[in-house]
Amino acid sequence: MSTANGGKVVVVGGGVIGAACAHYLSRSGWRVTVLDKGKFGAACSHANCGYVSPSHVLPLAAPGAVRKSLISMFKPDSAFRIKPRFDPTLWGWLLRFARRGNHADMMESAKGINALLQSSRVLYDTLVKDDGLECDWQDRGILFVNRTAAGLAHATETAHLVRDHFGLTPELVEGDALTALEPSLKPGLAGAWLYRIDAHLRADKLMTSWHKSLLAAGVEVREGCEVTGIARAGSTATAVQTTQGDVTADAFVVAAGALTPKLSKSLGFKVPIQPGKGYSITMARPANCPTYPMIFEEHRVAITPFSDGLRIGSTMEFAGYNEETNPRRLAILRNGAAHYFKEPLDAPVQEEWWGWRPMTTDSRPIIGPSPAAGNLYVAAGHNMLGLSMATGTGKLVTELLNGQTPHVDPAPYSATRF
């Protein structure tokens, strides 16, 4: 459909995906209203690690991933954990995830992931440099640091795979060269791969700046407005039903992240997204602050340095829509990081945080029209890469709504693929 240059569109969700959709839709002529049940940018887009990372091209469901997960998932102190409970929806999701743990399915998913990552990386340059969004943007790359020889060997296999199939050019850094490049690291680590294509930003600053930019562009943002359903007349969506009353529009985009399954009935299909809870600790900038963002894959810990602070993040906990902060998960972050740094990261803590990542079984998002209505679109399920894929997603949604030729093939993200 195309009713741009005057048409009204409602975007459900004020996270980074909703913000990106609102940005590109507004610029193409749509009158945009964003609805969020809480505060704009306050959910999973608030305190994540802030990576814009084309390096993260491979899906979680890879050969060997299921076996490793089964070994660790019931251990309370494992970086990956499933809270034991009776949940048929979760177990069905896990079964479909397990079936994709083979090379062919991994590479199929990677192609779709890669297209959005590459697109978004280019678009972020424009967003920051030309549109002036303030977000502590830094583009020196990301270091994937390995403590053991076995860990480095696995990272090397991955580096060669993404080099040969996706054109990435990671660089191996070993021995004294590693501590020279990143002096905060302990000597004696096995080595690291540096992906210079990657960048990082501070997510909360991005969302604050984007909020101001959208308002200045005439986008309406309604906070504290929970969407409870979507009214339809036949195969056309007519309004979203909210706690503040019905909101009518010509088109609708549901970008509600991990909460999207709660609208499955209205969307006309069972949305296969599970909430995967991630944690982070944000602290003041320590005296021994690292220069590079780093991922310690053997401990599932990520480090992001900012101009005014540092964030430790990651872990994955499938605990449903549990809203409690689990202190053991936060301790895992600190304990994991301690294996790699010369000195402890002991600066004053500014925030301890968690957010629900919207996890799909194939690590690809759902982007495109709902089976129920041609003017009702979904843009959700970006797994751990919402920030990394946001700009490409917003542009793709806008192209689809405008009836334009998409800049990336939308087929890998279809809601009908499950």
Give residue 359's identity as a one-letter amino acid code.
M
Mind listing the pLDDT tens digit for each residue in 78-102? 778 888 788 899 999 999 999 999 9
Residue 3: per-residue pLDDT: 66
Q: How many other CB atoms are found less than 10 A from the CB of residue 125? A: 14
Average pLDDT over residues 112-127: 97
Residue 71 predicted with pLDDT over 90? no
Please state, for a pLDDT cut of 70, what percent of the chain lies above it.
Answer: 96
Q: How confident is the model at residue 6 (pLDDT cuts 50, 70, 90)?
A: confident
Q: Report the distance separating Cα 360 and Cα 262, nearest Å.
A: 15
pTM: 0.96
Q: How many other CB atoms are found less than 10 A from the CB of residue 351? A: 13
Residue 267 predicted with pLDDT over 90? yes
Half-sphere exposure of 9 (CA within 13 A, CB side): 36
- The answer to whether the CB of 201 falls within 8 A of the CB of 50 is yes
Residue 83: per-residue pLDDT: 81
- In DSSP terms, 401 is beta-bridged to none
- The answer to whether the CB of 379 falls within 8 A of the CB of 253 is yes
Mind listing the pLDDT tens digit for each residue in 217-243? 999 999 999 999 999 999 999 999 999
Write the DSSP symbol of residue 247.
E
- The answer to whether the CB of 225 falls within 8 A of the CB of 242 is yes
- In DSSP terms, 373 is beta-bridged to 370
